[in-house]
Amino acid sequence: MNKFLLVTLSVLLSLSALSARAGSDFCGEKGVWIEILGAGSGEITDGQGSSSYLVWQDDVARLLVDVGSGSKSAFERSGADFTEVEVIALSHLHADHSADLAEYISGSEDEDRELPLLILGPDSNNPLYPTTTEFVDRLIGPNGAYSYLAHTLTSASKFGYKVRATNVPATGTRRWSRYKSDIMSLAAIPVNHGDVPTLAWRVEIGGKTIVFAGDFNNDKNRVATFAKDVDALVASHAIPEISRGELREEFALPSELGKVAAQANARMLILGHRNTRTRGRESISREAMEASYDGPILFANDNECWGL
């Protein structure tokens, strides 16, 4: 191979490596941004990571909302620094929203993190689903699946920081709002997702407000009030408008998502949790939403980043 071809190949490989690690170039250096770490639903064939979102403020990653499978790899590509993430907020404990949690903790061994890692998620009154504290204990506790990480739950953590899990009420109508730092505040309400204990999260950071409504069927229409005047409403585009039966017990129709966004006066609607049921039907879903909502409607894809 001649020198010209060797140089050309070297340049192409370098450009390829840079492209593969786009990092924080997806987001701006100033303001609040939502990076999509996983826009899929957990299906093997949907071509996307499972549900996960990363909230940035002024080029610092502060919050993870859900950590479905593929999230940790997308986090690595994002250029984010795990030592600066304050909280992992879980909407519910299905695998497509929580499967990568142990990977984040295991992978942080050499990160020199000192800030405690707070994991917030639903409590439970359903024997099929543990509370968040039980889930974390079953995952990384002394008798857990990854018991070699149990030290991270104690003050003697070898990683230099402690993992703390907290249960947030996922039944009834009570609004939980017990997290506030110098950077952001978090609130949550229970939402209906079939029989699964599930939360919607409201984030206030950098003068902006985001509601991650996640998977919900809009029973009792509580999300619209919770999301009043948000800069971004993030919801699941998990079922098409023609859906009926069990799917309707778990998810809101596109037309209902449009109504929620309109009633909330949301500045934009971001749609994740996309799957083989809804991909290819975006124009039909958009039409159903636009019957009520006239703001921007964004169908999310992995590694996109939206500024507020």
pLDDT category, 54, cuts 50, 70, 90? very high
pLDDT per position as a tens digit, 104-157: 999 999 999 999 999 999 999 999 999 999 999 999 999 999 999 999 999 999
pLDDT per position as a tens digit, 262-272: 999 999 999 99
Taking the model in full, what pTM does it have?
Answer: 0.91
Sheet holding 269-272, edge to edge: 176-180, 184-191, 198-205, 208-214, 232-236, 269-272, 297-299
pLDDT per position as a tens digit, 82-104: 999 999 999 999 999 999 999 99
| Distance of alpha carbon 141 from alpha carbon 151, whole angstroms | 8
For the chain, give the mean pLDDT: 92
223's CB contacts (< 8 A; 6+ apart) are: 189, 191, 200, 211, 213, 216, 260, 264
Quick one: pLDDT at residue 306? 95
pLDDT per position as a tens digit, 284-300: 999 999 999 999 999 99
CB 196 within 8 A of CB 179: no
Quick one: pLDDT at residue 16? 38
Average pLDDT of the residues in 58-87: 96
- Check whether 19 has a pLDDT greater than 90: no
- Check whether 240 has a pLDDT greater than 90: yes
| Distance of alpha carbon 130 from alpha carbon 214, whole angstroms | 19
CB 287 within 8 A of CB 242: no
| Distance of alpha carbon 301 from alpha carbon 91, whole angstroms | 19
Quick one: pLDDT at residue 47? 87
1's CB contacts (< 8 A; 6+ apart) are: 9
Task: Determine whether 1 is exposed, middle or buried from the number of CB atoms within 10 Å of its CB (0-12, 13-18, 19+).
Answer: exposed
pLDDT category, 4, cuts 50, 70, 90? very low
- State the fold for domain 25-307: Metallo-beta-lactamase; Chain A (3.60.15)
